[in-house]
Structure 1
Amino acid sequence: MRLFEIILLITLTLLPFFWRRLALRFSVKYLLIGLVTVVILQLVLEGYRWQLLPAYVLAVILAIRIYTADVSKVFKISVLSVLRFVLFPLLLIPAWILPAVLPVFDLPEPRGAYAVGTDTVYVNTNRDEPITADPNDTRKLVLKIWYPADSIAADIKRDTYLDPVSRAGFATKYGLPASTLNYLDYVKTYAYPKVAVAQGSFPVLLFSHGYGSKATGYYALLSEVASQGYIVINMNHTYESLGSAFPDGEAAYFNYAYQQQIAADQMQTITPIQEAFKGKLDFEQRHPIVRDAVQEYFENDIQNRWVVDMQSILDLLPEWNTEGFLKGSMRLDQLGVFGHSVGGGAAGKLALTDDRIKAGANLDGIQWGTKIDTVFQKPFLYLSADWPAEHEDLNSHIYSKKSTDYYYEAKILTTGHPNFMDIPFMIPMSSLTGSGSIDPELAMEITTKLVAGFFDRHLKDEENVNIEALPEIYKDLKLNVYEGTVE
């Protein structure tokens, strides 16, 4: 919570117990002026947000109580006073909980040598759109580009945290009004829209988000990577993210009906995997069961579709490097890909199948499909959350053949699946989000050090990057490095 939010809540918590004593020494007028001043300071300096509505109501009730009370009368316990003591916490508890659960949070400040610029690009691939029912629809994509920028003037406006369409999609997912997330206007980002790209040229990374998530809900991760000298193309897989906003005013939200359609009857694919892991089968006995299932599960088709999305963008990069705001800024011989969750698996598929990609990373995603029978021919990083022992570790089978080049297998202890997103900052209660108990900033610092270090070594060819030393710095990081194929 912010400073004046805390001051307001402490005032509302303590003043009901002490105002009568204070009124015997000071005029009631001064008590009211003090209370009103605290409320006004919070509203003016930090702004109204609905999470503080119980606090504002309490302030009004308390002000009326102080104004109408006869201080000269001896305070007596009555039914009315008992009710006040009972009812007051009913407002005071949500007054504390709501701004704590949904805070105006702080994003980590990027540590790289560059400031971070952003811009938005719209692409019509002219491919058929497989998700909607209209046969005339073509696959359109909205991309957020994160890039290194030179120093930023003090008067340059910062990027707003999450566009309105992404906010609306997130609110809809949890059955909330879109206005619920208006308080995100107060979140301070470290990205600056449409500023000039820094002098020089930079490697390019494609980033693919999680299924049904906020495509741009990775500010902490992508701001840091861009500040380290990378152009990051933030994919937004239409109808499979929470929201895409197009320039003609069209908004494309997550298609829940399509999800239900493609996910129907999938338990018959997953059940054999679950039974194989729960039983006493060893790795070799379990492997053929996993092999069959990972090629049939519906997320394999999602990842295949997302690979084609990314390939459509790869096809456009030579043109973008000759005109537009990225002109001459991209090193097209240094292309990489990374992603989270389903997007992490899609990143692995693209790295496996497209020779333009020189290195890839998967942040806690399962790579469905044929990788289980094949070997990466390039450097690859797999970074996992700290899943419980009973979790079905499909990637231990899928990635068993690893790579003919470097293969990095990493885990950050006490993390959960959302720790690679902004969610632990946005909702700092792991019991609600599934995040781990690790400090969110520490988890993000380890993630970005590992991801940026991996691409520094294998795209920028910086031989002095010592990724292997990171576990000595961060005790929560477990890392194994393999060079060459491991059968």
Structure 2
Amino acid sequence: MNKILVASTLALAVSLTTPYPAQAAPVTALPAPTGPYPIGKVDLHLVDRSRPDPWVAGRDVRELMVSIWYPARRGTSRPAPYLTPKESELVLKGVPQLRDIPSDTLARTRTHARAEAPAVGRKGGWPLVVLSPGMTLPRATMTSLAEEFATRGYLVAAIEHTYESVATTFPDGRTVTFEAGKAGQTPETGAKVARVRAADTEFVLDELGRSRRWNALIDESRIAMVGHSVGGQSAAQLLPASRRIKAAVNLDGTYHPKTPAQPLDKPFMMIGNPRHQPEFGGPDGSWDTFWPHVTGDWKRWLTVTGAEHMSFIDYAVLQPQLGLPKTPIDGERAIAITRRYVTAFLDLHLRNKPAPALDRPSPDWPEVRFW
């Protein structure tokens, strides 16, 4: 397995040497969302017949899986699954320290959405948030954020960029694996990933707009994009080019290439681990190089003390639940920070609601530094 795949699943914890006893089954659960609405979730299988798959030769269509979270009516439908058993198996397979726990452990992760729950409508529709995960990471890894946004009155669409994830299961039972960028993350690969994800995102927006079911639930004038890692840098690259996306957030994504094709003149926020702070220049200085190209009237650069690359997604809480070492910042605290600041950003730019949390540092959140 290539080094990017191992690093990006759960194997940041290379120092752990004692595996679980055979057959032990950790209990994994995501933190509860904090808003007023119950949450529904639906998985969509979308096929773009206008282009071949960019990562696998001979596939003349681009297939995508998309998860939709939304404000829902209260009901008793079953909890929405986190991963399929096969997806769980392939994620855990990439982590030698976890080889002896049941392969479906992550498939049994407790979530807070109900599968196919009836949606709550709203005159004019709900603002839409598009989520783009990191390289090799399933879309499910952003569930903690998706559930928080949905419970606060957003419709959320997380896109699985096929062959860029360690495992993607389709409704017919096929599970495909990682193919993109196996040679490593280079500027050329990063530019291609950004182009592919831009095309994927615009296609998904087109499909949702054409769907009788979803079109009525979406306010197409209020769309933002939030991405983690490669998904964050892709959101930044797409923001100035898309007529529909009004604002974007990069969660700890390094930029490949380091400068955008066009300046970012719309609201944009970067939240990352301390290695992105100006005095460190990030892993390769990409944030320092990219920042002057963010030219809009509203922009923020935040870092979170104690955070690591996975602190902004579900793995912040799942890693310690699986027995992998904790990060300097508590996982639930890291998720709470990410939820608070990204929700404030969305409320400000999609709803015109005041967001004092984004004006200045807060004594309630001393880990968050403004640059």
Interval containing the TM-score (normalised by the shorter chain): 0.7 to 0.9
Provide closer, same or farther for how the CA distance between residues 114 and 210 of structure 1 changes in structure 2, counting only shifts above 3 A: same
The alignment status of 1:140 with 2:73, answered yes or no, reads no
Q: Which amino acid aligns with 2:168?
A: S
The alignment status of 1:387 with 2:275, answered yes or no, reads yes
Q: Which amino acid aligns with 1:189?
A: T
The alignment status of 1:363 with 2:255, answered yes or no, reads no
Counterpart of 1:298? Answer: 189
Counterpart of 2:176? Answer: 252
Larger Rg: 1
Counterpart of 1:328? Answer: 216
| Runs of 5+ unmatched residues, structure 2 | 1-17
CA distances 1:370-390 after superposition (whole Å, capped 9, x unpaired): 745742121001111122847
Alignment of 1:187-336 (within 5 A): 187-200=109-122, 201-255=125-179, 259-260=181-182, 262-263=183-184, 296-320=187-211, 323-324=212-213, 326-336=214-224
Alignment of 1:173-184 (within 5 A): 173-174=94-95, 180-184=102-106
Provide closer, same or farther for how the CA distance between residues 429 and 159 of structure 1 changes in structure 2, counting only shifts above 3 A: closer
Counterpart of 2:11? Answer: none
Total equivalences in the alignment:
346
Q: Which amino acid aligns with 1:319?
A: R
Measure, in 2, the Cα distance between the counterparts of 1:372 and 1:473: 34
Q: Are the equivalent residues in 1 in contact too, given 2:347–2:355 (CA < 8 A)? A: no
1:181 counterpart SS class: coil
Counterpart of 1:438? Answer: 329
Q: Which amino acid aligns with 1:314?
A: L
Q: Are the equivalent residues in 2 in contact too, given 1:343–1:365 (CA < 8 A)? A: yes
Counterpart of 2:30? Answer: 107
Q: Which amino acid aligns with 2:55?
A: I
1:234 counterpart SS class: strand
> How far 1:462 moved relative to its partner?
1.3
Counterpart of 2:48? Answer: 125
Counterpart of 2:318? Answer: 426
Counterpart of 2:7? Answer: none
Measure, in 1, the Cα distance between the counterparts of 2:19 and 2:267: 50
* Structure 1 vs Structure 2 CA RMSD: 2.7
Counterpart of 2:303? Answer: 411
CA distances 1:432-468 after superposition (whole Å, capped 9, x unpaired): 56x6311111111110110010010001111365422
Q: In the alignment, which of 326, 330, 338 is matched to residue 447 of structure 1? A: 338
Measure, in 1, the Cα distance between the counterparts of 2:152 and 2:345: 12
CA distances 1:188-218 after superposition (whole Å, capped 9, x unpaired): 2101110011131210111100001122122
Q: Are the equivalent residues in 2 in contact too, given 1:471–1:478 (CA < 8 A)? A: no
Q: Are the equivalent residues in 2 in contact too, given 1:209–1:341 (CA < 8 A)? A: yes
Q: In the alignment, which of 232, 235, 240 is matched to residue 352 of structure 1? A: 240
Provide closer, same or farther for how the CA distance between residues 299 and 221 of structure 1 changes in structure 2, counting only shifts above 3 A: same
Provide closer, same or farther for how the CA distance between residues 138 and 404 of structure 1 changes in structure 2, counting only shifts above 3 A: same
> Whose helix proportion is higher, 1 or 2?
1
| Runs of 5+ unmatched residues, structure 1 | 1-92, 270-295, 481-487
Measure, in 1, the Cα distance between the counterparts of 2:306 and 2:368: 10
Give the structure-1-normalised TM-score. 0.65
Measure, in 1, the Cα distance between the counterparts of 2:89 and 2:208: 31
Q: Are the equivalent residues in 1 in contact too, given 2:48–2:62 (CA < 8 A)? A: yes
Measure, in 1, the Cα distance between the counterparts of 2:147 and 2:257: 31
Measure, in 2, the Cα distance between the counterparts of 1:378 and 1:210: 23
Measure, in 1, the Cα distance between the counterparts of 2:100 and 2:175: 14
Give the structure-2-normalised TM-score. 0.85
Q: Which amino acid aligns with 2:156?
A: V
Measure, in 1, the Cα distance between the counterparts of 2:347 and 2:163: 33
Provide closer, same or farther for how the CA distance between residues 157 and 113 of structure 1 changes in structure 2, counting only shifts above 3 A: same
Measure, in 2, the Cα distance between the counterparts of 1:340 and 1:98: 32
Of the two structures, which has the highest relative contact order with CA contacts closer than 8 Å and spacing of 6 or more? 2
Identity over the aligned pairs, expressed in percent?
A: 25
> How far 1:223 moved relative to its partner?
1.0
Q: Are the equivalent residues in 2 in contact too, given 1:416–1:436 (CA < 8 A)? A: yes
Provide closer, same or farther for how the CA distance between residues 94 and 254 of structure 1 changes in structure 2, counting only shifts above 3 A: closer
